[in-house]
Structure formats: C-alpha cells, structure tokens
With several copies, the nearest count.
Chain A
C-alpha cells in the first residue's frame, strides 16, 4: 500500500503531469499562452509514430506470442461493449438524453493514446515489462466504440448520419493509420531500424510528451472554463466512476487471455481511458445534435486528468494485488 502511494506521489510530481497542470492553470487564469494548432498536430504525429514504432520493434524482438490474436479480439470486444456499460451508467447518474448519452458512451469505449503512453511510462519506472503489441490493441480499440454509440442511438429510432463514407473515415482516420503503420515499420525494421532513429524517437520522447501535455492542459482548461455550466455533478461522477469500472472490465479480460502483469495494466488503462480526437470528429458527422461541450469536457477535462494522476497507479496496484494473489 505504501508502495502504491509512493508511486502515485512519484507519478504526480513528474514533469509530464506538472506540465499538464501548468496548461490547465494557464487556461483557467485566461493567460494568452497557446500552442499553435500546427505544432500540436506535429507533436501528436511524433508521439504516434514513436509509440507505434517502438511497439513494433518490441514485437520483432520478443516474437509474437499466442495471446496476440486473443488480445486483439479482446480489444475489439471491449471497445464495442464498454459503450453499453457507459450508456447504462450515464442513464443512472445523469439526465442526458439518448443522443448525448450515446455520444459520451462512444468516447469511453474508445481510447486515449496519451493515457496509454502515461501507463507505459509508469510501468517502465516501476521496472515492469509489457507486451509490445498492446499498441496494436490500442489501435483496434479506437473505432468499434463509435459503431456501438451509433447503434445505441439508432435503436431508439433516432436518425444517425452513418454511411459507408463515415465508416471508411473511422477506420482510416489519421491516428489509426499512423499508429498501425509505424507499428509495422518497427516490426519490419526491428532493432536495426530502431538503432538508426533511436535518438529521435526514444531519447527525447518524455520531453516532447511534456510539451504535448502542456497543450492538452491548455485545451482541457479552456474547455473546463467554457463548459463549467454543462457539467452537472452526475456527469462529473460518471467521469470518475466510468474509468474505474472500465478498468475492472479490462482487468477481467486481461486475466482471461493470460496477459503479463504489464499487459493487464495496459489493457485496464485502455479500457479506462476515453477518446478526445477520433471519436469527437466522428460524432460531429454522425450525431450533430449531440453537444460537443459535454463529451469533450468529460473525456478531456475529467477522465483524462483522473487517469493520468491517480487512475493509473490505482490500476497498477489492483492488478499487482490480483495477479500476485492468484
């Protein structure tokens, strides 16, 4: 227990978390500090490329073990099923209408790649290894949640603008293509490829992450400032309860398919995290009546910082306890 607290504290005072906090503070204080849109996009391209590549190299190194296919299938199912759980919780905890509840639910089935990265670096600091292909699991979890959300709406006989163009957009959205593409590049070029670009994608990674989180803090803080009114207490509670529930589902799935401790933690983190890039864009197209202020604020303003600060250490503690006990 002491170890967990120490880990949580250690996590909280890392430059990465503090950079996020600085961004939130600057936005709430109405400072004019901003990161240009092009720079923020460039940072995210760097992060996706580096994460995917390193995942691929790690699979090339350790070989593909039997649970790879199982993990991918688990990811698909989790992403499709978690929105149902989220929708159920939202109906209990909040007064959101079906459209808005479904839109929010879609975000929680999908994932946040930065939360995933934060998870890997907590594992790294704790000296726990994990399956390299968890990056691929992250990629497959991006999209199915969107379909679930749209199904939740259409079930209620509501109109959604789902069509084949949207389906292609969802599956080929930039972050999935880049993450998966970089994964395959890493897989093909292996350790030799990594050696060539290591001082670009490994050494400065944590530093780049700081600037990216500064930006995410700015965006989250601006969102919080502008949408304070839309966030009722029930919604806030959902933003914290849902990741905890999601993590438990992820824990069960991870244990069932036999992932390592690190892999289980990462699957918990993926299940607990909520999207704020791919899903919002799809929702604007397919569910224009849903209010972006609600889903973005919940996902980026509540759940993201919760996971980053205390969520991840909790998931690690639970997984350690459960796996140690079994």
Chain B
C-alpha cells in the first residue's frame, strides 16, 4: 500500500485554551485535527486529575494534527503563539499516511 511522508504533531494543552489553539490552527490554514481527552498528569506544576472536577480549569486535552512536512513550520508558529506562556507540551513525530491527498 502506498504511503506518504507526513508529520504528526501532538499538542497537550490546558482545556480552557483549547478553542484558542484550534482557532489559531484554523487561521494558520490547518483544517484537520483530532481532539482526545486527558484524564490526568504530572509536570513541574504538580500532579492533577480530572476526576470529580466540574470546571474546565484543572484539565488538559490533546490536539493531534497530521500534516505535510512542508506545512509544519506554519503550524508550529501558530501553536507556539498560543502555548507560549501556558502549560503545554508540543511533540512532533515523523509518520506515514495513506491517502496523502487529504492532508
């Protein structure tokens, strides 16, 4: 099966920033992303868990974007503008995709 080179960018970000991040991505021309839930974690600011929480403040989500390599920089600039002063981890991996015309 024919596969094509792409980049998988996984951004772990505070839930209250989610809409700002996806808006920034859209503005940077990134139309495809998938949001997955996060139930807890640990970092320099301590351990946290979503259990029993009512508000969105104390939680994070992951936004996963798969894009062509040449568009990576635009995406990272957009993501960085949002993540900058906030908690959040940006992790980029090389990957292969089927149906390259979709990206």
Binding site for A on B (CB under 8 A): 14, 16-17, 19-20, 45-47, 49-58, 85-87
Residue from A215, A289, A296 in contact with B58 in the complex, judged by beta carbons closer than 8 Å: A296
Docked-complex contact B50 and A284, CB < 8 angstroms: no
CA distance A142 to B88 in the complex (A): 28
Docked-complex contact B49 and A283, CB < 8 angstroms: no
- What are the residues of chain A within 8 A of B20 when measuring CB–CB? 165, 285
User: Is A81 on the interface with B (CB-CB < 8 A)?
Assistant: no
Docked-complex contact B51 and A284, CB < 8 angstroms: no
Docked-complex contact B51 and A36, CB < 8 angstroms: yes
Shortest C-beta distance, A4 to chain B (Å), equals 32
Interface of B is mostly: loop
Docked-complex contact A292 and B54, CB < 8 angstroms: no
Docked-complex contact A289 and B57, CB < 8 angstroms: no
Docked-complex contact A284 and B16, CB < 8 angstroms: yes
Docked-complex contact B57 and A280, CB < 8 angstroms: yes
Binding site for B on A (CB under 8 A): 32, 34-37, 40-41, 44, 161, 165, 215, 218-219, 222, 226-227, 276-278, 280-285, 288-289, 291-293, 296
Docked-complex contact A292 and B57, CB < 8 angstroms: yes
Closest 4 CB pairs of A and B: A280-B57, A277-B55, A281-B57, A34-B51
Docked-complex contact B52 and A40, CB < 8 angstroms: yes
Shortest C-beta distance, A35 to chain B (Å), equals 4
Docked-complex contact B57 and A37, CB < 8 angstroms: no
Docked-complex contact A35 and B52, CB < 8 angstroms: yes
- Which residue of chain B has the shortest Cβ distance to A214 in the bound complex? B52
